[in-house]
């Protein structure tokens, strides 16, 4: 800035710095060392808005050289981070691929001696035959439906989150919320409403028995003209306009005002044009109401929102005619407006309390509307109350005054601003959202730390944190509150310790927010960052999960993973609970699929070891993996979240999807699934009335059938009944196993099947599809199956149901800590490799 063309210039920099109030600009150069954007009071930043005044300035930077440009560059330097679940699934896939490849090679190598068996017709044909078995084994071991099921579960989670006003832009971020350990929350607009609001009023009640000050509190935290005024005993004033000082404060607030309050029907919100402090006074005038109408409060509620927005303000503006204005100036720190009404001239003034009080010679009393001289005692009382408002409560204070002027006066001069009558003082703030306290306490009980990050000054932010009430466990903020410059001056070790205790980070600019996120990530924290301004974009992109406000800038939204439609911090907590539930369900269906695939591997492996014919064809295994496993696994994603989901600590980022004891459990279940499938195959050959009832030794020597005399035709080994029985056992046992996965440790007696009707429906649909391929002729040919008799179905059920009994026993041991003791005995505590440990 090089020239001031008005008394002052004020700029709203919230989009860049997050400051809740506009900033006064000046021509004097800033001399602060390591100055942040907030300190550069002689610089105007591209993209910020002038709210009052005129000035001339010289452009010193465009494009990439502006503050906005540096934010863009910072965003380009930030790459996308893989989510914890993605990392674990990648590790799981790598591990699974190695294990399966090893098993397949092992099976092929072990059977090299059988390559020359006469049944194969030569060495090459034998090698090809056992290669097919190895392929079948790979098909059995790989959960082909897993990517589709994970994606479906995450998509279902996004739908549920949308009902909680959390719009997910990046699908994997749904689960990331579940392991979040730190939430770095922007103050302005997230913890607060970003709508300046009058919260306290101070007037002189009476001077008959010494100076008696009356203090009123005002409810309502937005620009909506909704709220009540309460006295110091907490009693609501039914008709505030009947109190002389409150009436004069409402008149002065409405008339000594250059702002506009209006209702936006498209957004369904009340909006401001002009200074937020002036709009707060307009809202106060609406809450006080109008005098002379006993039905006034209820009558105002009948109006449409568009009419209600400024009804009382318009009433006063119609009662008075504006004559002259004395603009605000930095040296006076006040403004005055001259009005005329019915042969009466009145000047209303507002400004900094110290400036107004020093120009007052009288005061208006609230008990009898009398005007009495302003004594030194009364002035001392007012200054003490001002110190309380501005100091302890960090309210932004304005004093209001009036003066009767000579009839016919048409202009105002600086000399007129003396001998004023003090009518009251108001304290305003950017109020905290009402639901934030409980949301923060929920985070703390869930083991999630909240760090408030803001561009505002330290005292204002600390006061807000006290008002929220979620930081009551801190005796004071020393060691927990840092400005950006204070933090940068600390040594590396001190910064590390400070990060572990930090609850408040103030006077920050965009680079500081990004630095904070990186520093926390280096401490293995999973960081969620909230923000709404352009200044938040680099940190939103860098964080493990960036959360933008619905009313925020398009830049912040595009850099985020999730958008809060209602701008409410409490929605984050609900989304965290949903994220944890999604992860728990994801674990359940991954474990379900693992145990099913282990069963298939055991089935193929045992058949190869015993030397019996192939129990299942590759196409049958694919059908089981993709269709019959996929539907119940998807339905497991609908399991209800546990009641204590927000009382548990966040899971560690390195925690494996399947730990040692659980792997043992699912190894047992998988082994039973495989053995039951092989048992069904052998039963048909050896015991079934509809089967050939062969001796077991004949079944083991099936490959030499064509080279020797037998009591049965060799074509019996090509019958489709045995593989149909074993495939049906595999399908039915996995349906029972799906019921086991309603909960990791809770019995089916506690969480019955009908607690997840989607799972019941998926089991019914899966069985119908299986019956379809058994009994519809073209499909039965395609899948090499045949219809089963009732006796065969009975055996299938006998072989399948015990999986529930086995898992109930294992769950009982888990609940009674036997599983934990077993886990300690395992040499390898986790199924999945820990990349972090290997790297170290």
CA nearest neighbour of 702 among 104, 112, 117: 117
Contact 789, 690 (CB under 8 A): yes
Instruction: Name the 3-class secondary structure at 404.
Output: strand
- Could you say which DSSP state residue 352 is in? -
What distance in Å separates the CA atoms of residue 643 and residue 669, rounded to the nearest whole number?
27
Place of tokens 């040594």: 491
DSSP 695-725: -HHHHHTGGGGGGS--SS-GGGGG-SHHHHH
Q: Calculate Rg over the CA atoms of the chain.
A: 37
Q: Are 429 and 461 in contact (CB under 8 A)?
A: no
Label residue 522 exposed, middle or buried (CB < 10 Å: 0-12, 13-18, 19+): exposed
Find the catalytic residue in 12, 39, 80, 186: 186
Tokens 């950006």: give the residue: 484
In the block, which residue shows the tokens 């996965």? 741
Nearest to 187 by CA among 569, 496, 625, 584: 569
Q: Retrieve residue 833's tokens.
A: 């490799």
DSSP state for residue 446 in the 8-state scheme: T
Q: What are phi and psi of 110, to 5 degrees?
A: -60, -30
Among residues 55, 54, 50, 29, the alpha carbon closest in space to that of 41 is found at 29
Residue found under tokens 């040692």: 660
CB crowding 92-122: b at 16 or more within 10 Å, else e? beeebeeebeebbeebbeebeebbebebbee
Q: What is the DSSP letter of 321?
A: E
Buried b or exposed e, range 168-199, using 16+ CB within 10 angstroms: bebebbbbbbbbbbbbbbbbbbbbbbbbbbbb
A 10 A CB-CB count for 65 gives 11
Counting Cα atoms < 13 Å in the Cβ hemisphere of 243 gives 28
Active site residue 186: yes
Q: Region of 423 please: left (phi>0), alpha (psi -120 to 50) or beta.
A: alpha
Q: What is the DSSP letter of 406?
A: -
Indicate which residues carry an active-site annotation.
186
């Amino acid at each position: 800035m090089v020239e001031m063309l008005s008394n002052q210039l004020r700029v709203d920099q919230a989009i860049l710095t997050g400051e809740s109030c506009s900033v006064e600009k000046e021509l004097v150069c800033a001399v602060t060392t390591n100055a942040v954007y907030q300190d550069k009071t002689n610089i105007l930043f591209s993209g910020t808005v002038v709210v009052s005044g005129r000035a001339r300035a010289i452009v010193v930077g465009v494009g990439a050289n502006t503050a906005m440009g540096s934010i863009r560059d910072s965003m380009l330097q930030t790459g996308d981070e893989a989510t914890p679940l993605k990392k674990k699934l990648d590790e799981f896939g790598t591990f699974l691929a190695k294990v399966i490849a090893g098993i397949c090679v092992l099976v092929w190598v072990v059977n090299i001696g059988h390559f020359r068996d006469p049944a194969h017709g030569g060495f090459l044909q034998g090698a090809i035959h056992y290669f097919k078995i190895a392929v079948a084994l790979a098909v059995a071991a790989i959960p082909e439906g897993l990517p589709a099921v994970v994606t479906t579960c995450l998509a279902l989670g996004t739908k549920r989150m949308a009902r909680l006003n959390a719009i997910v832009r990046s699908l994997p971020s749904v689960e990331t919320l579940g392991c979040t350990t730190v939430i770095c929350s922007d103050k302005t607009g997230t913890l607060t409403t970003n709508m300046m609001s009058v919260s306290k009023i101070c007037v002189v009640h009476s001077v008959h028995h010494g100076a008696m000050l009356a203090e009123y509190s005002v409810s309502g935290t937005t620009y909506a003209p909704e709220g009540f005024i309460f006295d110091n005993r907490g009693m609501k004033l039914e008709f505030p306009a009947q109190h002389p000082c409150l009436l004069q404060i409402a008149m002065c607030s409405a008339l000594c005002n250059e702002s506009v309050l209006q209702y936006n029907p498209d957004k369904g919100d009340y909006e401001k044009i002009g200074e937020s402090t002036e709009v707060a006074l307009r809202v106060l005038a609406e809450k006080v109401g109008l005098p002379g109408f006993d039905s006034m409060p209820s009558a105002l509620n009948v109006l449409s929102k568009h009419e209600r927005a400024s009804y009382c303000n318009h009433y006063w503006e119609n009662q008075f005619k504006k004559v002259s204005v004395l603009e605000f100036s930095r040296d006076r720190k006040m403004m005055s407006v001259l009005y005329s009404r019915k042969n009466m001239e009145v000047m209303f003034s507002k400004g900094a309390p110290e400036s107004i009080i020093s120009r007052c010679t009288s005061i208006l009393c609230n008990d009898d509307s009398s005007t009495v001289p302003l004594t030194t005692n009364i002035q001392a009382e007012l200054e003490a109350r001002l110190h309380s408002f501005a100091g302890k409560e960090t309210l932004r204070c304005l004093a209001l005054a009036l003066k009767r002027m000579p009839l016919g006066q048409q202009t105002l001069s600086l000399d007129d601003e003396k001998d004023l009558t003090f009518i009251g003082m108001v304290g305003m703030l950017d109020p905290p959202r009402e639901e934030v306290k409980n949301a923060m306490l929920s985070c703390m009980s869930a083991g999630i730390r909240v760090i408030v990050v803001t561009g505002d000054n330290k005292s204002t932010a600390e006061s807000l944190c006290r008002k929220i009430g979620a930081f009551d466990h801190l005796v004071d903020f020393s060691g927990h509150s840092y400005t950006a410059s204070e933090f940068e001056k600390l040594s590396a070790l001190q910064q590390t310790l400070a990060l572990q205790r930090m609850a408040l980070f103030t006077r920050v600019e965009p680079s500081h927010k990004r630095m904070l996120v990186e520093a926390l990530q280096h401490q293995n924290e999973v960081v969620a960052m909230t923000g709404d301004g352009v200044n938040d974009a680099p940190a939103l992109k860098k964080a493990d999960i960036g959360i933008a406000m619905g009313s925020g800038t398009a830049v912040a939204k595009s850099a985020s993973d999730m958008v809060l439609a209602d701008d409410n911090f409490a929605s984050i907590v609900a989304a965290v609970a949903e994220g944890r539930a999604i992860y728990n369900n994801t674990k359940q269906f991954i474990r379900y699929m693992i145990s099913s695939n282990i069963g298939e591997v055991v089935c193929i492996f045992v058949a190869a070891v015993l030397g019996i014919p192939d129990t299942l064809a590759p196409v049958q295994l694919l059908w089981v993996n993709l269709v019959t496993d996929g539907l119940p696994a998807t339905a497991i994603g609908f399991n209800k979240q546990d009641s204590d989901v927000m009382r548990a600590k966040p899971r560690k980022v390195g925690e494996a999807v399947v730990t040692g004891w659980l792997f043992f459990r699912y190894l047992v279940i998988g082994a039973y699934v495989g053995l039951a499938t092989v048992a069904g195959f052998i039963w048909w050959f050896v015991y079934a009335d509809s089967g050939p009832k062969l001796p077991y030794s004949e079944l083991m020597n099936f490959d030499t059938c064509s080279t020797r005399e037998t009591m049965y035709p060799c074509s019996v080994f090509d019958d489709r009944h045995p593989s149909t029985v074993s495939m049906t056992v595999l399908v039915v046992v996995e349906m029972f196993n799906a019921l086991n996965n309603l909960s990791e440790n809770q019995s089916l007696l506690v969480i019955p099947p009908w607690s997840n009707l989607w799972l019941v429906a998926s089991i019914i649909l899966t069985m119908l599809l299986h019956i379809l391929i058994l009994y519809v002729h073209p499909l039965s040919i395609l899948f090499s199956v045949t219809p089963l008799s009732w006796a065969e179905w009975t055996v299938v059920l006998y072989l399948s149901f015990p999986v529930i009994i086995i898992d109930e026993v294992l769950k009982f041991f888990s609940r009674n800590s036997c599983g934990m003791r077993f886990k300690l005995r395992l040499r390898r505590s986790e199924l999945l490799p820990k990349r972090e440990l290997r790297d170290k």
